[in-house]
Homo-oligomer: A and B are copies of this chain.
Amino acid sequence: MRLSDRIDLAVTHAVRIGQAHPAPSRLSAALHYAVTPGGARIRPTILLSVAMACGDDRPALSDAAAAALEVIHCASLVHDDLPCFDDADTRRGKPAVHRAFGQPIAVLTGDSLIVMGFQVLARAAHLAPDRAMALIDVLATRTGMPFGICAGQGWEGEAEIDLAAYHRAKTGALFIAATQMGAIAAGQDGAPWAELGDRIGEAFQVADDLRDALCDDAELGKPAGQDDLHGRPNAVAQLGIHGAVARFDDVLSAAISSIPACPGEAALAQMVRTYADRLVPAVARTAIPGE
């Protein structure tokens, strides 16, 4: 089965928990709306790729981990889009959840998806209890305070920002979770895999800055030019397009060098490079150096 199919199946399975029982229909619909159709599903793709590089001896647990990570990522998108944060009209090419269902349902959708992430792992725990508990610990650490995406968003409300802590929490956290959870799901220690996630997160942030500067709303499926609009620190403003592309290449090479020894090391390196290159808009590599 293709990775994307594994992920879609696992995510769909997750949002169906308890579906035979009475449930508020609009919130149920909003949960499904928030997780489908998926975006690039990059975090669970990395997670499963690492799990496979490590042998993937409990594929159902890897799938649960991938779904857990993806629904928490979707939760963060729903809450980030709220009027009190980005006030985004669109996400993944359709109206944001709060535009389609209203703010109360959007808040509850995010809350429910966060809970679902942990529930999916608890339900899969019988497959390998020790691994499941380690997965829950990593997912919580990279979602909450002070190391997770909640902390990352929280830094944006500060007068003085610790930039390293901000970037690591805001963008890096769920990539670190992805690589560590992939390894843990396959029975390996998660710690040596943190650097790969951290560097992929950094590369992803640079690629995101390039897309935000070079693509239009339709290509992004969300409003473009937001970094400039909100005056956010970003690689294109700091380094120019050429410099940002060079930075992306450097970080990606460092990411690949950091891959711990494992049976599928070469294939994983190839996958990371192929996947990451797709994130950089072609126009960035043809832009005139130094502009």
Contacts and interface: CB of A to CB of B under 8 A. Distances in A.
A18 to B, nearest CB: 4
Interface string A120-152: 011101000110110011001101111110110
A151 B27 contact: yes
A84 B104 contact: yes
Number of copies: 2
A31 interface: yes
Interface string A237-270: 0000000000000000000000000000000000
A96 to B, nearest CB: 14
A24 B157 contact: yes
Interface in A1-55: 17-19, 21-28, 31
Given A133-B129, A137-B122, A147-B18, A26 B154 contact: yes
A119 B141 contact: yes
Contacts of A280: none
Which 5 interchain pairs have the tightest Cβ spacing?
Answer: A115-B144, A23-B146, A27-B154, A24-B154, A119-B140
13 contacts: A23-B154, A26-B154, A26-B158, A27-B157, A28-B145, A107-B107, A108-B150, A111-B150, A114-B115, A115-B150, A116-B145, A122-B136, A129-B133
